[in-house]
């Protein structure tokens, strides 16, 4: 196993940041840690990169224990902490050179690893990192984390706050990196990115809700979801919330994802109910569950 976490718990004074977390990441896997702010993602990352001690439990990275063999781990992993932590007043090239030198290598030595990403930044190589766009900064941070050909890559919310185009490009890069024999553990609050991982762990309030492949997780959704639409979103939500048989009512863009508490639910019944509430243009259709639906169902 590339990464192995067993019953890890961590508390800050009274706050339980992580509660009895266990999971494993296989070599060369692209593993996603999916959850909102405060779920415990960053705390977990810091424990795995040996920056924090767990209160309970054990963890190993590449076979090394995070407490006793921390030095070995620090030499061999790549780490991208959240929020653009590069040297803003150094240029792109200077940042890369610095990190390469610190790890006892050079840009040329592992150039093939970062080539695809670096080509996009090459026109800006003499620009200060602080003056790059959000998407560019993240790409630079990724290069700096990769420059010494780490075996395991830890990316803590690398796409938060970045525009959708750059986000997509970033994940394309991650997919390509997988083929170069690097294990990647990435955290994100964006549910749509979860679908791009090999396996994911859904985490909220320090607890893991479920671990599996994205497809399997979605299949586990216990009920049939219906897309419901009407002429007035607000009234629709209110009516559905008042409907006595509802199980979950969540707006999803132009529709509402509705699940019923009964096994033998007949959509027509719902339609009649809504019409009686003076709603019109009603549409009710079956739809597939998404990771977000599953997340909310598990978190309820």
Partner 1 sequence: MNRFIGFVKKEFYHIFRDRRSLFILFGMPIAQIMLFGFAITNEINNVDIAILDHSKDAVTQEIINKISASKYFSIKQLITREADIAPIFQKGHVKAVLNFEKDFSQKLIKAHGANVQIITDATDPNTANTISNYVNAILQQYQKEVNKEIVNSYQIVPQTRMVYNPELKSVYMFVPGVMTIILMLVSAMMTSISITREKELGTMEILLVSPLKPILVIVGKVFPYIFLSIINAIIIVVLSIFIFKMPVQGSLILLGMESVLFIITALALGILISTISATQQTAMMISLMGLMLPVILLSGFIFPITSMPLPLQIISNIIPAKWFIIIIKGIMLKGVGLQYIWKETLILIAMTIFFIALSVKKYKIRLE
Partner 2 sequence: MNNSKVIQVTELTKMFGDFTAVNSITFEVKKGEIFGFLGANGAGKTTAMKMLIGISKPTSGKANVAGFDVFTQAEDIKKNIGYMSQKFALYDDLTVKENITFFGGIYGLSRKRIKEKSETLIKELGLEKVTNTLVGALPLGWKQKLSFSVSLIHDPKIVFLDEPTGGVDPITRRQFWEMIYKAAHQGTTIFVTTHYMDEAEYCDRVSIMVNGKIEALNTPKILKEQFKVDNMNDVFLKLARG
Spatial contact of 217 and 200, defined as CB atoms under 8 Å apart: yes
Instruction: Tell which one of 46, 139, 199, 257 touches partner 1 (CB under 8 A).
Output: 46
Interface stretch with partner 1, choices 28-36, 48-56, 217-225, 256-264 (CB under 8 A): 48-56
Full DSSP string of 190-223: -HHHHTTSSEEEEEETTEEEEEE-HHHHHHT--S
Rounded CA-CA distance 274/282 in Å is 8
Binding mask 117-156 for partner 1 (x = CB under 8 A): ---------------------------x------------
Rounded CA-CA distance 291/269 in Å is 28
75 interface partner picked from partner 2, partner 1, none, CB below 5 to 8 A per type = partner 1
Rg for the chain (alpha carbons), in Å? Answer: 23
Number of neighbours of residue 252 by Cβ within 10 angstroms: 15
Nearest residue to 147 via CA among 115, 181, 183: 115
Distances (CA, A) of 297 to 30, 199, 225: 24, 19, 11
Instruction: Tell which one of 119, 123, 244, 253 touches partner 2 (CB under 8 A).
Output: 253
Rounded CA-CA distance 194/112 in Å is 27
250 interface partner picked from partner 2, partner 1, none, CB below 5 to 8 A per type = partner 2
The verdict on 246 binding partner 2 (CB under 8 A) reads: no
User: Binding to partner 1 (CB under 8 A): which residues in 52-71?
Assistant: 52-53, 70-71
Residue 182 or 208: which CB sits closer to partner 2? Answer: 208
Interface stretch with partner 2, choices 103-111, 143-151, 179-187, 189-197 (CB under 8 A): 189-197
The verdict on 204 binding partner 2 (CB under 8 A) reads: yes
Half-sphere exposure of 57 (CA within 13 A, CB side): 23
Min. distance of Cβ 99 from partner 2 in angstroms? 25
Residues that bind partner 1 (CB under 8 A): 46, 49-53, 70-71, 73-75, 77, 79, 81, 83, 85-90, 94, 97-99, 101-104, 144
């Amino acid at each position: 196993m590339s990464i192995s976490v067993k019953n890890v718990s961590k508390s800050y004074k009274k706050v339980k940041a992580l509660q009895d977390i266990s999971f494993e990441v296989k070599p060369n896997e692209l593993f996603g840690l999916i959850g909102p702010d405060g779920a415990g993602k960053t705390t977990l990352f810091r424990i795995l990169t040996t920056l924090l001690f767990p209160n309970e439990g054990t963890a190993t990275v590449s076979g090394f224990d995070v407490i006793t063999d921390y030095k070995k781990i620090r030499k061999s992993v790549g780490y991208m902490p959240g929020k653009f932590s590069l040297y803003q007043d150094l240029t792109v090239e200077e940042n890369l050179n610095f990190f390469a030198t610190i790890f006892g290598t050079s840009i040329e030595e592992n150039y093939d690893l970062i080539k695809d990403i670096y080509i996009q930044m090459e026109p800006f190589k003499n620009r200060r990192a602080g003056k790059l766009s959000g998407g560019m900064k993240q790409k630079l941070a990724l290069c700096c984390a990769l420059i010494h050909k780490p075996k395991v890559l830890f990316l803590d919310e690398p796409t938060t706050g970045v525009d959708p185009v750059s986000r997509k490009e970033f994940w394309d890069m991650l997919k390509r990196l997988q083929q170069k024999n690097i294990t990647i553990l990435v955290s994100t609050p964006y549910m749509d990115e979860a679908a791009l991982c090999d396996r994911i762990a859904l985490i909220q309030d320090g607890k893991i809700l479920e671990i599996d492949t994205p497809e399997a997780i979605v299949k586990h959704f216990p009920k049939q979801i219906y897309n419901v639409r009407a002429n007035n979103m607000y009234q629709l939500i209110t009516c559905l919330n008042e409907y006595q048989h509802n199980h979950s009512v969540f707006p999803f863009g132009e529709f509402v994802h509705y699940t019923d508490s009964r096994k033998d639910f007949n959509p027509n019944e719902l339609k009649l109910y809504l019409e009686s509430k003076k709603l019109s243009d009603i549409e009710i259709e079956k739809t597939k569950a998404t990771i977000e639906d599953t997340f909310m169902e598990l978190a309820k």
